[in-house]
């Protein structure tokens, strides 16, 4: 009995070991299959995501290039409507930049970003009896439809817009020289400007308006006698030391003519409205300030003038030494027999 019991115990242990070994191998095979399927699905999903991202990137780039194409047409229109009006209806054009400006070419310049081709086609535009754009009606020669197409890898992205010759309907203002004193032959340092670091003050010239005007710019007859004088600008004031109505652009003193007096333009950012029958003052200023001793103002800029008894210009007079020695209330010296050369331009 003891032997039989021992043999049965040995037999059961063998069966258990064999079964355990079999289940372990099956588990490995199943796990490997699951991991393989998971990796395959993951790789497929990754590849799909990459393709979608690439396609989305291409679509985005096509959209940007198409919008840029419309901006090119707009820039060409603003430069000259004749270019668009003279284009062949239905013909293919390619926008490109030459000398910093957009132009239309009938020759394909090649792919953009190594992938895209961009074309522009113009079509006629018709308007109905209500002057609305329609598929039929009366042709509007002052309007064109521009279609921009982006082509790549068998795909097409396109947008369109309407462009009108709006400038032909504008009433454009022109600049006109309205007030001036040009007979100023004397070229000396009478104005003592910009008073090299001595604080000698600013020069000024007054004038009187006849009617109300909108001033766009002034010109002064200047010459620099030193290589690099201080930067200069001009102000319009109600008096020599009065309210500043407007200030012009800053001018590099080195850019002023040095061989002989020349008319130097000082432009206002927006037109300055002046009332009728009113005296105003052009005050020439510098940076660093010529009114402050030790400010660092440098060089000499002559403002040409004429001297005659009673003053050669009936509408105003010259001033020198305004605001000298850092005194903003110092109106300087009124030079009754002198007038500086100036021009005042207005919108007409």
DSSP string, 236-298: EESSTTS-EEEEB--B-GGGS-SSS-EEEEEEEEEEEEE-TT-EEEEEEEEES-TTSBTS---
Q: How many angstroms separate the CA atoms of 233 and 265, rounded?
A: 10
191 and 292 in one domain? Answer: yes
213 and 145 in one domain? Answer: no
Is residue 194 helix, strand or coil?
coil
Q: Specify the DSSP class assigned to residue 60.
A: H
Could you count the other beta carbons within 10 Å of the beta carbon of residue 105?
11
Cα 116 to Cα 100, 110, 112, 141, 144, distances in angstroms: 22, 9, 5, 32, 25
Is residue 58 helix, strand or coil?
helix
**Long-range residue pairs from 55-58, CB within 8 A, at least 24 positions apart, any chain:** 58/115, 58/152, 58/153, 58/155
Q: Has residue 225 been placed in a domain? A: yes
Residues 6+ apart with CB under 8 A from 30: none
What tokens appear for 61 in the block? 């780039």
Q: How many angstroms separate the CA atoms of 152 and 248, rounded?
A: 51
Select from 143, 169, 195 the last residue of a domain: 169
Question: From the CA atom positions of the chain, what is the Rg in Å?
Answer: 41
205 and 221 in one domain? Answer: yes
Closest CA to 198 of 328, 294, 301, 332: 294
CA angle 91–111–158, rounded 5-degree value: 55
Q: What is the pLDDT of residue 135?
A: 92
Q: What is the pLDDT of residue 5?
A: 41
152 and 246 in one domain? Answer: no
Residues of the chain with pLDDT under 70: 1-23, 46, 171-172
Q: Has residue 246 been placed in a domain? A: yes
185 and 149 in one domain? Answer: no
Task: Name the percent of the chain in helix, strand, coil, to the closest 5.
Answer: 25, 40, 35
Q: Has residue 63 been placed in a domain? A: no
Tokens 């000396």, residue?
A: 188
Closest CA to 193 of 228, 232, 249: 232
181 and 163 in one domain? Answer: no
Select from 169, 201, 222 the last residue of a domain: 169
231 and 330 in one domain? Answer: yes
Q: Which domain holds residue 116?
A: 69-169
Write the pLDDT tens digit of every residue in 56-71: 999 999 999 999 999 9
Write the pLDDT tens digit of every residue in 159-172: 999 999 988 877 66
Q: What is the CATH number of the domain that holds 274?
A: 2.60.120
257 and 224 in one domain? Answer: yes
Helix (H) or strand (E) holding 11: helix 2-79
Q: How many domains does the chain have?
A: 2
300 and 271 in one domain? Answer: yes
What tokens appear for 295 in the block? 């400010």
pTM: 0.55
Closest CA to 116 of 147, 148, 144: 148
CA angle 340–345–347, rounded 5-degree value: 160
Q: How many angstroms separate the CA atoms of 200 and 223, rounded?
A: 19
199 and 151 in one domain? Answer: no
Cα 301 to Cα 13, 320, 323, 336, distances in angstroms: 116, 13, 18, 21
> Environment class of residue 284 by beta-carbon count within 10 Å: exposed (0-12), middle (13-18) or buried (19+)?
buried
What letters, b where the CB count within 10 A reaches 16 and e where it falls short, cover 238-259?
Answer: eebbeeebbbbeebebeebeee
What tokens appear for 217 in the block? 């710019």
Select from 145, 169, 193 the last residue of a domain: 169
**Terminal-residue alpha carbon distance, the chain:** 134
Asked whether the beta carbons of 270 and 247 are under 8 A apart, the reply is no
259 and 322 in one domain? Answer: yes
CA dihedral for 288, 221, 339, 205, sign (positive or negative): negative
């Amino acid at each position: 009995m003891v032997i039989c019991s021992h043999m049965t115990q040995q037999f059961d242990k063998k069966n258990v070991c064999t079964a355990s070994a079999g289940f372990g191998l099956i588990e490995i095979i199943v796990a490997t299959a699951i991991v393989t399927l998971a990796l395959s699905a993951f790789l497929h999903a990754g590849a799909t995501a990459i393709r979608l991202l690439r396609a989305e990137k291409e679509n985005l780039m096509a959209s940007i290039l198409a919008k840029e194409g419309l901006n090119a047409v707009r820039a060409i229109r603003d430069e000259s409507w004749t270019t668009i009006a003279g284009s062949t209806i239905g013909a293919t054009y390619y926008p490109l930049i030459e000398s910093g400006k957009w132009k239309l070419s009938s020759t394909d310049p090649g792919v953009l970003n190594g992938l895209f081709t961009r074309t522009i086609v113009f079509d006629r535009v018709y308007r109905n009896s209500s002057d609305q754009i329609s598929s039929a009606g009366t042709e509007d020669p002052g309007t064109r439809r521009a279609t921009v197409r982006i082509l790549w890898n068998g795909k097409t992205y396109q947008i369109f817009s309407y462009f009108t010759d709006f400038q032909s309907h504008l009433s454009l203002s022109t600049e006109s020289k309205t007030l001036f004193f040009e007979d100023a032959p004397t070229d000396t340092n009478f104005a003592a400007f910009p008073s090299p670091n001595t604080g000698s003050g600013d020069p000024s010239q007054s004038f009187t308006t006849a009617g109300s005007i909108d001033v766009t710019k002034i010109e002064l007859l200047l010459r620099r006698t030193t290589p690099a004088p201080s930067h200069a600008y001009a102000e319009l004031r109600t008096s020599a030391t009065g309210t500043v109505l407007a200030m012009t652009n800053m001018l590099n003193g080195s850019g002023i003519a040095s061989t002989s007096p020349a008319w130097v333009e000082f432009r206002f950012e927006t037109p300055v409205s002046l009332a009728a029958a009113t005296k105003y003052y052009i005050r020439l200023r510098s940076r660093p300030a010529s009114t402050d001793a030790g400010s660092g103002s440098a060089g000499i800029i002559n403002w040409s003038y004429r001297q005659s008894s009673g003053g050669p210009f009936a509408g105003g007079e010259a001033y020198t030494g305004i605001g000298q020695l850092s005194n903003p209330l110092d109106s300087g010296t009124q030079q009754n027999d002198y007038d500086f050369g100036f021009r005042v331009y207005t919108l007409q």
